[in-house]
Structure 1
Amino acid sequence: MKKHLWIWQIVMLFAIFGLWQLLTHPDLVPPFMWENPNRAAFFFGEPWKMLQVIWAWFTDGTIYPHLWVTLQETALAFVIGSVLGLVVGLWLGLSPTASALFDPYITAMNAMPRVVLAPIFMVWFGLGIWSKVALGVTLVFFIVFFNVYQGVKEVSPVVLNNATMLGATRRQLLRFVYLPSATSWVFSSLHTSVGMAFVGAVVGEYLGSAKGVGYLIHQAEGAFDINTVFAGIFVLTAFALVLDFAVTRVERRLLVWRPTQGETEQL
């Protein structure tokens, strides 16, 4: 069953699109389903027309400049937010005094609905990519930070004591004990961080920009073009899946020492 799972997933995808097309196409909707089938197509779009929009975007090259801008914003937010989260998480995890001092402020900033900062970032950085990057960084940072902080705290005291007894320096403890312990936590957070970096970029584009896939969606929404809105959403979804797949590949390469689920079950 697991070997052919992807086949069933594709079948399910086609079934969903087929049902969607059936329920929104004026000529295919049974009379008892909708009082006015055209209203269904207006509110929910038609998959075939949505796919036509996507095909037109990629064949005439319309989507590429916008997709490139969104990619830049997402990548920069992801990298900067992840590095900051890793550094600050390690620092506070290894420094109880600094952790106790900054804990209420970090908790307060994490509780803040950071999407409301988007207009402020636009005032500070303008309508270019950096306002979107700043918003994405605020979303990514806390996810990585809390995972790294927890990973450092979860280091076994027995391992630390043994390494210290063998003469390990603080730098060696950081390299061979703390960082490997935090690595699994870091990669578990990166899958979520990719999505959050993406959300920050698109929300920023939606609120104010001249390029980006979020900008295309906002323009289509203003024209009540629901098919183009769904086309933009599906392009963004596919784009996010590609980024998540890239993170998974890097994770498998760097964490080769970690047993897979099948190996764990055999043990």
Structure 2
Amino acid sequence: MWNLIKPRPATLRLWQFGLLAVVFVFWYAMTKPGLLPNFMFENDRQAAFFFGEPLRVIERIWVWFVTDADIYQHLGVTLAETVMAFAIGSAAGLGGGLWLALSPMASAILEPYIKAMNSMPRIILAPIFAVWFGLGMGSKVALGVTLVFFIVFFNVYQGVKEVSPVVLANAKMLGASQKQLLRHVYLPSATSWVFSSLHTSVGLAFVGAVVGEYLGSSQGVGYLILQAEGSFDINTVMAGILVLTAFALA
């Protein structure tokens, strides 16, 4: 029978960091020549070539942030693109979701087009945005906005549609205006949906920024990863991935 008792916060953190330590120890053991028998590769160095070495990855991060301190400009560009994409996409998704949820006619007309755009793999828009907005920050922000918008839009739309008919009828019976209904009924109903979508949208904003940098740019963490990939420097690639993951979580 499953143990349904939730661990204490301190114990939970200990287990989480312990799991992370196990992952790094396993990574180190599998990529250290001669430490463990490796049945996947012809020689011991191939594992390190394909997966990198954790100590070298940490060393690369240390050089980026401390020794050379040359990542801050690239990281600042990526974070600025992410924040702008997140803010614009969230605001547009919130406004669009509220508008269509409260406008049955507009919803009926635009619904198939919105579903069609949502079904399209939006990563393929990156080259088009690069032509439209150039290789600067604009194309990365535009790609991030397309990724964030639909997540927020559909959550807000569904949240407004989930308003209790009884609550809505009682509010109208008490003489609530449309503005009061929006403020006291619709928005509170959609709040949990909105915050749920924002958690997902942060990661997608990072995806838009990094993919855009990866396809064409002269700065940003995605650019550093692309440069490292071109020289088969898997340790720098893994270092870039870890840095992006840490900032996305933060």
TM-score bucket (shorter structure): over 0.9
2:136 maps to what in 1? Answer: 128
Aligned residue runs from structure 1 range 137-216, under 5 A: 137-216=145-224
2:25 maps to what in 1? Answer: 18
Provide the secondary structure at the position in 2 that maps to 1:41. Answer: helix
Which one of 47, 56, 59 corresponds to residue 52 of structure 1? Answer: 59
What is the one-letter code of the residue matched to 2:63? A
Which one of 73, 80, 87 corresponds to residue 65 of structure 1? Answer: 73
1:8 maps to what in 2? Answer: 15
Give the superposition deviation at 1:35: 3.2
Give the superposition deviation at 1:9: 1.1
**In the alignment, is the contact (CA less than 8 A) between 2:155 and 2:197 conserved in 1?**
yes
| Residue 87 of structure 2 corresponds to residue 84 of structure 1 | no
Over aligned residue pairs, what C-alpha RMSD do you find?
A: 1.1
2:226 maps to what in 1? Answer: 218
TM-score, scaled relative to structure 1: 0.88
Give percent identity, aligned residues only: 71
Aligned residue runs from structure 1 range 232-247, under 5 A: 232-242=240-250
2:102 maps to what in 1? Answer: 94
CA distance in 2, matches of 1:30, 1:23: 8
CA distance in 2, matches of 1:33, 1:82: 45
Unpaired runs of at least 5, structure 2: 1-6
Aligned residue runs from structure 1 range 27-38, under 5 A: 27-30=34-37, 34-38=41-45
CA distance in 2, matches of 1:44, 1:73: 29
After TM superposition, where is structure 1 displaced by more than 3 Å over at least 4 residues in a row? 29-35
CA distance in 2, matches of 1:153, 1:16: 43
1:250 maps to what in 2? Answer: none
Query: After the TM superposition, which of the residue ranges 53-62 and 32-41 deviates more from structure 2?
Result: 32-41
Q: 1:31 to 1:137 in 2, by over 3 A?
A: closer
Give the superposition deviation at 1:11: 1.3
Unpaired runs of at least 5, structure 1: 243-267
TM-score, scaled relative to structure 2: 0.94
Give the superposition deviation at 1:31: 6.8
CA deviation digits over 1:127-178, x for unaligned, max 9? 1111000000000000000000001101111111111111111111011111
